[in-house]
Structure 1
């Protein structure tokens, strides 16, 4: 203990609850799907910012440390599904924004793509989990308040894409179906 402050002068250790001191989730507590989302957001960022093609981004991302712990099938679905469906995902997201999509940070853009994609194609993932996972991604990779913005946009998009599920959770009747609803 040389060099350490006496035990009586040190602040008590905080209990570990699955997050680091910065609030990020600890690696050990992340599921394979959560890891897949993390790698997908990084790959989509490269795609959005660098304009790299999907195959090059995919190959680069698969070589990153820790990729072997990710659910590679979910990563593939997110990366390729978001890139292939980019125009449709943008059309779903844009009405729920308070600015042009071109003014949105590439991280938040990628995170919202992931959320919109999962709402539509990953029906085994509850809508609240989709939003929570996207908030965590925005906190970990995005700007200071980006997570609040992602939460608002996806929270408004959820009733459109998961009308029945959202209504059941909220104890309200589903809203009338609109074009593109999967309720």
Structure 2
């Protein structure tokens, strides 16, 4: 594996948020308890804490709405998507929808990098394709100006 350079606090926030969302989904732990545990375990030292908390709380609280946004662009039912990829899609859709200050290309790139790091082989291609279609729907003006 390639040696990784310095990681920005925002990138690290997304990585840790993905792990927290996975724990939330698998164990049904409350987000507050996950934040407390991650803090006690020293996992929040190099993160943008407000972004981490926002991603965990907002994504876990809007699962149905987020899934409904990306579901039309899937080739199978949402329930059939791997839990890691599903949470990457949810985070990406949340940021595309709720964080207009973050360029859509940054959101997609960060999501693709999460998939490369934590997802199944080639899942990054699937994530890229789905989020690109979501971006066209949610950020059509920005996307047409950039492309």
Give TM-score, length-normalised by structure 1.
0.76
Partner residue, 2:125: 148
Question: What is aligned with 2:33?
Answer: 56
Cα distance, 1:86 vs structure 2 = 1.0
Q: Which residue of 2 aligns with 1:168?
A: 145
Query: Quick check: which one's helix share is greater?
Result: 2
Q: Cα distance, 1:148 vs. partner?
A: 1.0
Q: Is the 8 A contact 2:16 2:43 kept in 1?
A: no
How far did residue 56 of structure 1 move? 1.9
- Cα separation, 2, equivalents of 1:150 and 1:47: 21
**Partner of 1:40 in structure 2?**
17
For residue 54 of structure 2, the aligned residue among 69, 77, 101 is 77
- Within 5 A, what are the aligned runs for 1:16-165? 22-23=1-2, 26=4, 28-165=5-142
Which structure ranks higher in relative contact order (CA pairs < 8 Å, sequence separation ≥ 6)? Answer: 2
Gaps of 5+ in 2: none
1:115-173 residue CA offsets vs partner (Å, 9 max, x unmatched): 00100111111100100000000111111111111111101100111111001012xxx
Alpha-carbon distance, 1:71 to partner: 0.1
Q: CA RMSD in A?
A: 1.4
Alignment length (residue pairs): 147
Q: CA separation in 1, counterparts of 2:8 and 2:74?
A: 30
Structure of higher CA gyration radius:
1
CA distance in 1, matches of 2:40, 2:89: 24
Structure 1 position 57, deviation (Å)? 2.0
Given that residues 16 and 52 in structure 2 are in contact (C-alpha distance below 8 angstroms), is that contact kept between their aligned partners in structure 1?
Answer: yes
In structure 1, stretches of 5+ residues that fail to align are 1-21, 171-183
